[in-house]
A and B are shown apart, each in its own frame.
Chain A
Amino acid sequence: MSAVTPGAHYPFPPASAYRLNRCLFALKSDAAFRQSFQQDATRAMTEAGLSDQQQKLVLARDRDALVAAGAHPYLVFMADLRLRMDRSAFEYF
């Protein structure tokens, strides 16, 4: 009956990945952080407290490895989408 089962699509985000998830959250939701990341990703991630290994995973945009390291799948998805997003590519209603 546990709501959190190994193999779940949305597993519990471990505390070891807190800064990694905070960085992905900021890429998704904080335009100023996203801009600083786009100017100098290594510096932005270092200031955000990510380990060298976590920085490599973010730079590689390797979803499976990021999730295995504790990143929340939705945050991985949206951070990547926001970094690639071009508003002109959408039809707005």
Chain B
Amino acid sequence: MLVGAFALAHTPQLIARPDTEDRDLVLRVHAAFARVKARLAALRPDALAVIAGDHVEAFFLDAVPALAVYVGRECAGTFGPYEYRFEIDEALARAVVEQGIERGFDLFYTQDRRLDYAFFVPLHFTMPEPAPPLVPLHVNVYLPPQPTPRRCYEWGRALGEILGGRPERVALIASGGMSHYPGTERYASPDIEWDRQVLETLQAGRGRELAALTGDELDKTGNVELRTWITLLGAVGDRPADVYCYEPSWHHGNAVVEWRL
């Protein structure tokens, strides 16, 4: 069963802050993460299903899955001085990939790829103790052509039904967003107005509208990573979002959001 749903920023500067970043802003996002950590502890999840978009770390151009499930015993990776290692809920991950394929989603799976900071940053700050195992789920956001928002939403709906039919208590986390343009000339101009409109739509409980966005709109607004949120929205439906914070920095719209199930 699904017991919780969250969307969490994964800006790397939240863990490793250079002096270009406003320290007070970083600490305000940390405070929102601390609220999520307390919520997760109260929800007592048996597993965390984390939907994230790999930053061309696990998946390079030699093999580009649209949607992938990590089905190993554990998964690991490094960020700066930190080494992360997480147990995977193998039975649950296997059920996701098997039932997903039965439902017509041609999922890629891996038993040996790394994770990257899309997973580490939210878990660094919100992982409850003791740490429940993960079901890491990858959505291709950076290597075009990416899956359409509609496909992400449909996959999320199937994922919600699969997890909803399981005995484990599962919290769903979408990692990433909102507007940012790493590596492009728009890096210093995130589309904050567009982000705020999306958050208003979500607060009003109209999440399904995001399934109608196009890939072009996501690219134009610096929101290619919103595919992870749209996947989550397929699972949580039109419940209203509780926005813990929206903290736009000079290059990144940092949001922390919960959907109460």
Contacts and interface: CB of A to CB of B under 8 A. Distances in A.
Contact of B56 (A5, A25, A63): A25
Interface in B153-185: 181-185
Contact of A92 (B55, B80, B125, B187): B80
Interface of A: 1-5, 8-13, 18, 21-22, 25, 28-29, 63-64, 72-78, 87, 89-93
B148 interface: yes
Contacts, number: 103
B252 to A, nearest CB: 13
Interface of B: 14-19, 23, 26, 30, 55-57, 60-61, 80-82, 124-125, 142-146, 148, 181-187, 214-216, 219-220, 222, 224
Contact of B224 (A2, A10, A12, A22): A10
Nearest to A64: B185
B222 A9 contact: yes
Contact of A3 (B56, B61, B82, B215): B215
A57 to B, nearest CB: 15
Given A8-B219, A11-B144, A22-B61, A77 B80 contact: no
B182 A18 contact: no
Given A3-B146, A4-B145, A10-B142, A74 B183 contact: yes
15 contacts: A4-B144, A9-B184, A10-B144, A13-B61, A13-B144, A25-B60, A29-B57, A75-B56, A77-B187, A89-B18, A91-B16, A92-B81, A92-B82, A93-B26, A93-B124
